[in-house]
Structures are given as structure tokens and as C-alpha cells.
Chains A and B, each alone.
Chain A
């Protein structure tokens, strides 16, 4: 975790600032002391005192959502695009249970969030009171940590600890459950600096001997690959810059998980593209055939490894992770390094320079020749069309027409998400927000609002499918109310495309429940909320329509009617290793059960 995620302006005379105030005022004051400028939430009976305190100040902006799940996704978008923790406020019972999906999403993707939930008064806990739920019980497995605050005097300390836990080590969501009587009670406020230090101090410094071994491995490698993940993004922009420097110093190829896109620029010459189930052919084959794999801040997810027993059989594996439990969980590695990935990269670079290290240049050149050969397969090739918009074409045009802009992209989950990862290019970290671990349909739209709130002037586009997008459709009003000019770019195939693809390839073409029936007229829907609606079905009109979307000063719902039965390739099918990827051309043979070569 970088300093910027933990750092917050705190009063110098902190120890002196011991004031008496209500629990609700403590919450607002603590948020200010942690540099929070925006919270996402929805009021209800058990948080009314906090809402009253919010009403009486102007430093913290409250974004009123339409559903608590969306509040959490907005906070995730805010956090991922700024590097600061996202803050959420919800009421007890249904408010808290609605937040569970967002919490789980943030836990899987290591996104720092601080969520406050109201709770029934302490003397009513356990009585099945109105809007009572066992929130700490329900959220225990989907938060990094959570607290039920029963003592008003413990409130300030707990909030400070919550920010520390959320942002240090492997980041994640935390929740503080606040009974209503604690919000009303008066207590002493202690500033962040004077707070009791918790024992939670994750290790972030790499072992120097391990760094030395890593540099030796880099010097000797003949077929190396960097395999990077969201950890590099979480380590902060400086880590991404140094990552780029290390790649340039070594000349090694680099691939990334879905979560790590943008840590190394896609325009960089060593970029192989994303790896994994729908990753690029050259990236997956480089992983399979390498002799040195350097995994930085990624966690060998099943969508990355394919068949574990055949995963990169001939390589020496180095795994750098801030979370010791990620190491040796799926894949046994040869050199485990527990560290903040940013600190490790910096240490490796320093040692590299100090030693005047050199790579095995001849071998690396040969390795690149092999990679160039794989690139010639052109794994993203698709059949173009004069009459129908191919989803890949729509994203190629979106990429071309937004290139050069400082653009933020969010996505929903499914085929469109994978195509976006394949066809859109990211040159900076914190520009790509997608639900990786949990795969939450309905993530992208609220996340795009959260990003836009954090970056009011930026171009923020949610690449969506019509099915996913409808899962948080109610947030249209939020975008209108808060003047968030988000662009919703819906690749509408009237299908649950990824489900349909699997049914076609793996379930005998029985398309069980995988179509979008009774879709709304998206243009009318846009207009009903005061948005602009655009519909486009002809490839010839697409460029103008995209420009119209970009140029419009306000939220846009873009209904892009695309080819209905396009499948997303390449694909590593069920339980197959990296070197048995399915390309578009192989799909028919695969369906008919022919042996794959």
C-alpha cells in the first residue's frame, strides 16, 4: 500500500484535540480528519443521528444512491480511481444486507472501503427489533475486519483503526456497526494521531536476500515473463512507474491479469496483453513456456492458471505478495517474497543498478522471436461485417475515438468485459475499474458514477452488456441528481452473452434462460431520467454516434445493437492448460467434439 492511501491530513495538535461530542458528530469529525470528502449512502431510522450531523456541515459531500449495493460499488469506483478509501453509510437491517454484495466484491478485489451501518440501540440488540439484522455476523466473512461499537468512548479509536486496517497490508473493506444509542451518546473524541495503536502491522519490506536471489534469476533467465496483477495498482502510481522502469531495464515481456491492466502501459513495446481464460494467445503461451515467471501482486486465480497440474511446467516461479496466504495457495513457487510489491520493485531496481546487472541478451532475443511468432496468430481476429456491428468492432472504434484522452473505463461482467479488456488499452493505472474476483453483474454502472464523482471533468465510460446493466438500472436518478455525465456504452446483443457462449460450447446449445426478453426502449428510458439516449445499429453510423456520446455534456445511454451470437475468443476451455487455447477458428471443431490439437 502506498503512502497516499494511508496518508491523510491530520491535525498537528492531535493529542490536544480531545473534545466532547455526540457519537454521530464523532463519525463526521473522524471522516474529516481522515481526509474524506465524499461518502455514498442512503438514510434510514438507525442512522438518522449521523444524517443529522451530515446536514449540519459542508465539508463532506453525501451522494444519495437509489440502492445500497450501488453505494458500495460507487465507493469502489471512487477508491480504485483515486487510491483513497471509499466511504459508505447505510442503515441497519436491509441497508446493511444490501451492502453485502459490494463488500464481497471489494474483498475479492482488495479495494479499501470503510462502511458504516446503523444498528438498533444496544439494549434492543437480539430482540428481533424492527430493521435489526446481525450485521457483524453477516459481514464477518465478507469484510477484512468489522466492529460493533457498544461503548461511545471506543468509537473514535475504532474509526481510526478501521481506516488503518482498510488501507494497510492487502487493502480491503471494513465495516463499523453503530447502534443508534451510541450515535446519540456523548463521548470524547480523540484524533487519529492520539488513537491507540492496534497491533495490526503487516510486513511490507522485502527480505534483502530474496531480492538478491530475484535479481540473480533475472540475470540468468532465458525465457522470462512478468505476470502482474492488481497488487501493482494498489501499491500506487509510483509502483507502476517503477514497474515500467524494471521492464525497460530488463527487456522482459510483461502480461497482466484483468485486475492489473494499466500498471504497465499497453502502448509499451514489451506488453503482451492480458492473460488468462480470455487472455491473449501470446500471453498465455509465454506463461506456459517460460523458464522464469515473476508474479507481482497477482494470486494465481483459477481463471489465470487453467489446469493447475499443467501450469507453466518448466518455470522457476517467483511470487511477490503482501498477503502471505496468497503464496503457495494454488501454485507452489520457488521464491516466495512477502512484501509490498512497490517496495520490492524499488529494491530490485536499486540492486539491479548497483550490480550493473545485465540480462542474457541473446537468449532474450530468441525468446522474443518466439513470442513474435505467437503474435502472428492474431488471436483477436474476428469476422467483420458491413451490416452488423460486431462488439469487437464497437470497442475498437471506442478505443480509436477516445485515444489520447485521460479516460476512465468501468465494465459490467460478461463477454463485453472480456472484449473491453482485450480491445481497450490502458497506459496509466487507476483508469480501469472492473469486478474481477467476484464477477458482479451490476458493478460497472454505479462504479462509473463513483469514478465520475471523484473526477468531475474526466471522460468516464461504462462498457456494459444490456443484461448486467439492468442490475443497477435504478442509479440513473443518482447520475442525474449529481450531474455525473457518465457514458453508458451498452453492447446490446439481447442475450446473456457469456452464459449463452458456454451453453453453446459446453451444454449442447441448449440456451436455458440466457436471453434478454422485454427490454426497455433505452432511448426513452434515458429521456425519462433527463439523459441523452442514442441508438446505433449500423456500423457506418457508429463513429458519429460515439462522438455524439463523448461530446454530450451530460449522462448518455448508448444502446449499441450488436451481433447477437458473437463468441468471445480466445478461450481456455474447462480445465485445459494454457497451451490448449481455443481460437475463433477452432470453435466449430470444439463443438462437434473433435480432439483439440
Chain B
């Protein structure tokens, strides 16, 4: 039996329209999500992203108001405008979510991340690592005769740049906190 004459990317064997209709211009967005600090709330947020196929580039969470039982989740996600709009709407519908703010479109925000870098080396490489750390205003928080642990704070791009520089100088371990972000001004 001849198959239906439907173009590439479609399936004549499915009731679903398998072609992708979404616009392709994806952009990174930072969302601040204020939630009740209760058991399972992080799982609800993460489950929403995995269950609906959204991306998470970075996620941080911590209690911000002990008396009010509130936590702030900062999610860096990526998607087209339509997808980001869906993510916001879907997040807002989770019962313990109080507020969702898109810090990329609704505000000018400061974004900061903290990272720890362990760099192993001797001789010139070790001196070069320390010199670069000073330029980046990274602190030495641990040292042996053949290693440093640097602490660095800044926008994610700055931390990426520092990692690129440390790699040839003996970078052996990295820990990053993910992005914390706040809108500028009041």
C-alpha cells in the first residue's frame, strides 16, 4: 500500500503532527521563583521541567525567609519566547509557588555565581595561576605546596573565562553554585 504523500519531517503513521512549528530563536532567561519552603517543592519545579521537556542550565535554591517559610529558586533556562511564556505559566500554577519573575525580560538584573577551583601545579604554572587569580579577584581559600583552591564570585561569563584560563594550568576540580539573581533598583 502506498504511503501518504506527506513531506519530510511528518509522519503519515501518527495522529500527531510531528513537524516542529516552534520558532527557533532560543534565548537564555533567568527566572526567580518564590515558593513555600515545604517538602517536595523543589521536586515539583524540577519535575515540571523534565516532564514537559524544558531545559535547565542552572538552578539554585535556598530559604530566604525562615519565619515566612519562603524559599527562592533561581532557574536559568533556555527557550523561544513561547516556551518561556509556557514555563512561567506552568510554574505559576504549582500550588506552593507564590510568584514567578522573569529577570531577563521584566527587569535589569544582577546575576552572580560563586565557584571553587582546585588547581594543581608547580613552578611557573603555579605562579601564573596565582597571578591570574589576582586579576580576577579570586581568593585563595586553601593551599598546599602543589595546589590552590580559588574562590571566585561573578557573573557566569566571568567564571567561564576564569575556568578557561585555569584549565591549561592544572585545573583538576570545579564546584559552582549556579546563578543567584536580583532585579536592580527598587
Residues of A within 8 A of B (CB): 136-137, 140-141, 144-145, 148, 165, 170, 198-200, 277, 302-303, 306-309, 323-325, 327-329, 332, 506-509, 573-575, 590-593, 595
Contacts and interface: CB of A to CB of B under 8 A. Distances in A.
A593 B47 contact: no
Interface in B1-55: 1-6, 10-19, 21, 39-40, 43-44, 47, 51
B86 interface: yes
B90 interface: yes
A504 B97 CA distance: 48
13 contacts: A140-B43, A140-B44, A141-B47, A141-B51, A148-B39, A302-B16, A308-B17, A324-B92, A329-B86, A506-B12, A507-B13, A575-B10, A575-B18
Interface in B78-92: 82, 85-86, 89-90, 92
A140 B45 CA distance: 11
Nearest to A593: B2
A507 B1 CA distance: 9
A107 to B, nearest CB: 12
B173 to A, nearest CB: 31
Contacts, number: 84
Contacts of A277: 15
A573 B3 CA distance: 13
Nearest to A199: B98
Nearest to A595: B5
B13 A328 contact: no
Contact of B95 (A200, A332, A506): A200
Given A574-B11, A591-B1, A302 B95 contact: no
B1 A137 contact: no
A506 B16 CA distance: 13
Contacts of B3: 593
A575 B6 CA distance: 9
A503 B2 CA distance: 14
B95 A165 contact: yes
Interface string B92-116: 1111101000000000000000000
Contact of A328 (B15, B51, B85): B85
Contact of A575 (B19, B47, B93, B98): B19
B44 A593 contact: no
Nearest to B18: A575
A506 to B, nearest CB: 5
Interface centre among B10, B17, B47 (most CB of A within 10 A): B17
Given A141-B51, A327-B89, A328-B86, 12 more contacts: A136-B40, A140-B43, A200-B95, A325-B92, A325-B93, A328-B85, A329-B86, A574-B12, A575-B10, A575-B12, A590-B4, A593-B5
Nearest to B93: A325
Interface centre among B5, B15, B92, B98 (most CB of A within 10 A): B15
Contacts of A137: 40, 43
Interface of B: 1-6, 10-19, 21, 39-40, 43-44, 47, 51, 82, 85-86, 89-90, 92-96, 98
B5 A325 contact: no
Contacts of B44: 140
Contacts of B94: 145
B115 to A, nearest CB: 32
B82 A506 contact: no
B136 to A, nearest CB: 42
A116 B89 CA distance: 28
A502 B144 CA distance: 70
Nearest to A161: B95
Contact of B13 (A309, A327, A506): A506
Contacts of A309: 17, 19, 21
Contacts of A574: 4, 6, 10-17
B141 to A, nearest CB: 35
A148 B40 CA distance: 9
B21 A325 contact: no
A508 B4 CA distance: 11
A302 B17 CA distance: 8
A590 B1 CA distance: 10
A592 B15 contact: no
Contact of B17 (A144, A198, A306): A306
Contacts of B14: 574-575
Nearest to B89: A325
A441 B36 CA distance: 38
B23 to A, nearest CB: 11
Contacts of A507: 13
Contacts of B13: 506-507, 574
B2 A592 contact: yes
A145 B17 contact: no
A306 to B, nearest CB: 7
A580 to B, nearest CB: 11
Contacts of B98: 199
